[in-house]
Amino acid sequence: MRFLFFTDPHIRGTTPQNRKDNLPLTLQAKMREVIDLAVRHQVDALLLGGDLFDRPDIAPSIVSDFAVILRQSPAPIYAIAGNHDIFGQNPATLPRTMLGLLDSFQVLRLLPADATVTLHGSGVTVQLTGRHFHYDLDRRAPEADYCIKKAPGADYAVHLVHGMLLEKPFHPGIPHTLIEQIAGTEADVTLCGHYHTGFDYRKGGIVEMRGKYFINPGSLVRINNSTGEMLRQPQVTLLDFGGAKPVFTSLPLQSARPGPEILDRTAIEAAEYRENKLAEFVRGVEAGSGRKTFGVAGIIDAIAGNSEIPVPVREEAINRISLTQQLLQAGDADFSTDM
Per-residue pLDDT tens over the stretch 274-301: 556 666 666 665 565 555 545 555 565 5
What is the C-alpha separation between 242 and 293, in angstroms, rounded?
Answer: 69
Q: Are strands 206-209 and 189-192 parallel, antiparallel or unpaired?
A: unpaired
In whole numbers, what is the pLDDT of the chain averaged over residues? 85
More confident residue, 339 or 5: 5
Return the pLDDT at 215. 97
Return the pLDDT at 336. 36
Nearest to residue 158, comparing CAs of 148, 166, 170, 167?
148
Q: Is the pLDDT of residue 45 over 50?
A: yes
273 pLDDT band (50/70/90 cuts)? low
**Beta partners for 327?**
none
- The CATH code belonging to domain 2-262 is 3.60.21.10
Average pLDDT (162-176) is: 91
Q: Is the pLDDT of residue 55 over 70?
A: yes
Q: Indicate the DSSP class of residue 94.
A: G
Q: Which residues contact 152 (CB under 8 A, 6 or more apart)?
A: none
Question: Is residue 321 packed enough to be buried (19+ CB in 10 Å), middle (13-18) or exposed (0-12)?
Answer: middle
Return the pLDDT at 333. 39
Per-residue pLDDT tens over the stretch 197-240: 899 877 889 999 999 999 999 999 987 767 777 778 899 999 99
Return the pLDDT at 75. 98
Return the pLDDT at 229. 76
Cα-Cα-Cα-Cα dihedral sign, residues 112, 121, 193, 174: positive
Return the pLDDT at 339. 36
165 pLDDT band (50/70/90 cuts)? very high
Return the pLDDT at 232. 85
Return the pLDDT at 239. 98
Q: pTM of the entire structure?
A: 0.78
Return the pLDDT at 334. 38
Percent of the chain clearing pLDDT 90 (strictly above): 63
What is the C-alpha separation between 333 and 335, in angstroms, rounded?
Answer: 6
Q: Is the pLDDT of residue 151 over 90?
A: yes
Return the pLDDT at 293. 47
Which element (helix H / strand E) includes 60?
helix 60-70
Return the pLDDT at 272. 55
More confident residue, 274 or 243: 243
**Helices and strands of the chain, counted as H and E runs:** 9, 14
Max CA distance (Å), the chain? 80
Per-residue pLDDT tens over the stretch 101-134: 999 999 999 999 888 999 999 899 999 999 999 9
Return the pLDDT at 332. 43
